[in-house]
Amino acid sequence: MIITLFSFFVAFASVMLFRPIAIGVGLVDRPCSRKRHQGEVPLVGGLAIYTSIVLSSFLFVEFDNVYKMYMLSTAFLVLIGALDDYHDIEPNIRLIAQVLIGSLMVFGADVQLTNLGNLIGTGDIQLGVLAPIVTLMAVIGAINAFNMTDGVDGLVGTLGIHTFISIGVLAYLGNIEFSSELPAMFIGALIAFLFFNFGRFKRGRYKVFMGDAGSMLLGLTVIWMLAVCTQGESRFVDPTTALWLIAVPLMDMVSVMIRRIMSGLSPLRASRDHLHHILLFKGLSARWTTIFIGVISVIASLLGIIMQESQVPESTRLISFLSVFIAYNFFMCRQDKQMHNHVQ
């Protein structure tokens, strides 16, 4: 509780400190064809969250090699994200940077996905020499999944809070002694950010966005924690359960990329084809869009947790997840087509 409160106040103070600086140097998000917000909004939420995590870490966390590598990799990622916020970086360059940052996790901290679980009922599937490649793909996927989800006020912050809480719930149900300092820090910092992002402070006059720095930081942290929680003898989250904990950003990213490739477009091309865009097109307000997606995400996590605690076979859980994704992708294809026909 103390960690969460400290992180909250540091993030809150950091937003107040960074906001006028961002306006002065032009680190702001301007409205365009893809961004329908009003006025120029400072992109300092991610920087404030990271500042809170760094200061809180020095006070409350005992640094080992893994945590040192985490802090180093997040420092580079936040720097790349901030540069991207200030001056759009080419997608290919951003991708290369993500691979290098992911390599710090895989080779520097030796945090890897080596075990996919008992997916076909014949025992755990060990990745062996493929572990580094699969882990790098997971890191890049998670970073971009959370980055792509950041399109409506409060959405990515809400998804982040719910994911950290879900990991904590699984640790509690499994009676596992889990280092909860990092989730506690993020929950406090994200709550502080949401005060500004939702426009609840000073009637919206101090509104800020998270920016790529924040959403990519969140994505890397989530996949790092899931890799730690799903691997090794002390694991308490099954790999298939991890899919359900990040079901919404993961399914949305993969579906968007499939539809873009099918349309002959680059999967990294930015456009208005995400779930939150579809819901806004259907008439939901930004706030109700966040609430709706947040509820779906909570339901998905509950399903994953219930199936794990009920010891449903991992193969059944994987088939269930893929079935939900196929249905989701079919729905999104239809809605995406309707939206484009309407625009034309």
Which of 313, 320, 275 minimizes the C-alpha distance to 297?
Answer: 275
Please indicate if the annotation marks 85 as binding a ligand.
no
* Distance of alpha carbon 193 from alpha carbon 213, whole angstroms: 13
Place of tokens 């924040």: 214
Kindly provide the b/e burial profile for residues 90-115, where b requires at least 16 CB atoms within 10 angstroms of the residue's own CB: eeeebeebbeebbebbbeebebbbbb
* Distance of alpha carbon 333 from alpha carbon 273, whole angstroms: 10
Please indicate if the annotation marks 212 as binding a ligand.
yes
* Distance of alpha carbon 224 from alpha carbon 134, whole angstroms: 13
3-class state of residue 212 by DSSP = helix
* Distance of alpha carbon 15 from alpha carbon 22, whole angstroms: 10
* Distance of alpha carbon 193 from alpha carbon 199, whole angstroms: 10
Q: What is the DSSP string of 33-50?
A: SS---SS-EE--HHHHHH
Q: Which residues carry a binding-site annotation for Mg(2+)? A: 147, 212
Q: Which residues carry a binding-site annotation? A: 147, 212
